[in-house]
Amino acid sequence: MKKEISLAINGGKPVRDTYLPYGRQWIDETDIEAVVNVLKGDFLTTGPVISKFEQSIADYVGSKYAVAFSNGTAALHAACFAAGISEGDEVITTPMTFAASANCILYQGGKPVFADINPYTYNIDPVSIERAITEKTKCIIPVDFTGQPADLDTICQIAHKYNLTIIEDAAHALGAEYKGRKIGSISDMTMFSFHPVKHITTGEGGVITTNNTAFYEKLIQFRSHGITRNPKHFIHHHGPWYYEMHCLGFNYRMTDIQAALGISQLRKLDGFIKMRKHLAALYDEAFRNMKEVVLPFQNQDCNSSWHLYIIRLNLDLLQAGRKEIFEALQKENIGVNVHYIPAYYHPFYQMLDYQKGLCPNAEKLYEEIITLPLFPLMTEADIQDVIEAVKKVITHYSAEGKA
């Protein structure tokens, strides 16, 4: 019998003395200087820096337009509005995502329809999408889970066949590529998030990229109360001060302060992604021969931007469930997380009569996954701490090790 390992959860010494979060922003002096320059200028909000940031994003991903919003959820809501989602419309999305990917459909009076995931990539399964299509289906919202793009060619073929709009939730995928094309230039509309744990941050913030002029104009109007100041769209014209509200929009504008931070961060994006890939490769190498752990599958057609590194536990080879292993890793001061609780598991969705059992692959995945820390500020020493903790905990709970 192997020597028993003393876990921190049982009173042993943790691998780390300090807590390592699963994600954290990188802010340096150039970012601070960019924000200070705006604070010293004439505009704090709705000024020229927003347009510069939008153009920088559009140029980076290769889209015609980019429209910035106060956060990624607001951006998704605006995209659903621009796509014409309304009462009675159905929109197909994945349950393995943050609630906002489905909530944005409800905001417009539509109905989220959940399609199951591919058990290897964890992205939405195109076969499941096509099975879910009805005469009420208006849109598909695929999510580029963990930074790996969804099967966009097949999804685009389905959308074309049934005349559907694609709103790609790429909150995880800024800088990712699909068959050599940057994410943000392929779907009808694509959303990126700038929350502090994402690839770049504006504090809070989001953007929609699109090549469609009609969508662009609707997005611009929706984020500012439904108001237009463009005379070519006026029904009346009272004078140079005049503006008109044409729809019930929201105050979803980004500030110049946020946009200045975003421009500065965007200059570092490729470097951030390079660091993420390097750290992910260290995890891959360390865990490659652990039978109790399934590593993230990478589609050869895709170039992930590695927002998250998720391990899947082979529970048949372990004498503990995910909860026990998760808690043990936290006691080792490793800031693990779980991405995500299937959206329709939330009590609100249960009240809307969504039942467990809808998406078996997604539900099984949820029971077996743990997100490990991954962010550019991590050192290789940090990575080695995570690796040591995972091996320590897995070895402790290994059925083979207990034999």
Percentage of residues in the chain having pLDDT higher than 70: 98
Q: Which residues contact 365 (CB under 8 A, 6 or more apart)?
A: 96, 117, 119, 122, 312
Q: Tell me whether residue 383 is in a domain.
A: yes
For residue 62, give the DSSP letter.
T
Query: Are 285 and 341 found together in one domain?
Result: yes
Q: How far is CA 308 from CA 320, 339, 372, 386, in A?
A: 24, 9, 8, 14
CA 244 to chain centre: 35
Helices (H), 108-244: 126-132, 152-162, 213-222
For residues 62 and 156, membership in a common domain is answered with yes
**At residue 242, does pLDDT exceed 90?**
yes
- On the question of pLDDT at 323 being above 50, the answer is yes
Same domain membership, residue 181 and residue 106 = yes
Residue 385 has pLDDT above 70, yes or no: yes
Same domain, 319 and 361: yes
Q: Does 308 map to a domain?
A: yes
Tell me the Cα Rg of the chain: 23
Instruction: Assess whether pLDDT exceeds 90 at residue 113.
Output: yes
Q: Which band of pLDDT confidence, cut at 50, 70 and 90, is reported for residue 111?
A: very high
Are 116 and 247 in a shared domain? yes
Residue 2 domain flag: no
Residues in CB range of 55: below 8 A, 6 or more apart: 66
Q: Output the domain CATH number for residue 385.
A: 3.90.1150.10
Please check whether residue 15 lies inside any domain of the structure: yes
Mark whether 236 and 303 lie in a shared domain. Answer: no
Same domain, 212 and 275: no
pLDDT, tens digit, 9 for 90 and up, residues 138-168: 999 999 999 999 999 999 999 999 999 999 9
H or E element, residue 244: strand 244-245
User: 163 and 182: one domain?
Assistant: yes
Report whether pLDDT(403) > 50: no
pLDDT at 3: 54
Tokens of 285: 């190498």
Within this chain, do residues 273 and 261 fall inside the same structural domain, yes or no? no
The tokens describing 176, both together, are 């990712």
Report the chain's mean pLDDT, rounded to a whole number.
Answer: 96
Q: 342 is in which domain, residue-wise?
A: 8-24+269-402
Same domain, 277 and 129: no
Residue listed under structure tokens 């108001």: 227
Q: What is the pTM of this model?
A: 0.96
Domain count, the chain: 2
| 305 and 223 within one domain | no
Q: Which of 266, 298, 329 is the last residue of a domain?
A: 266
pLDDT at 402 over 60: no
pLDDT at 1: 42
Q: What pLDDT, on the 0 to 100 scale, is given for residue 4?
A: 64
Residue 1 inside a domain? The answer is no
* Residue where one domain finishes, among candidates 211, 239, 266: 266
What H or E segment, with its residue span, contains residue 401?
helix 399-402
Residues 261 and 285 in one domain: no
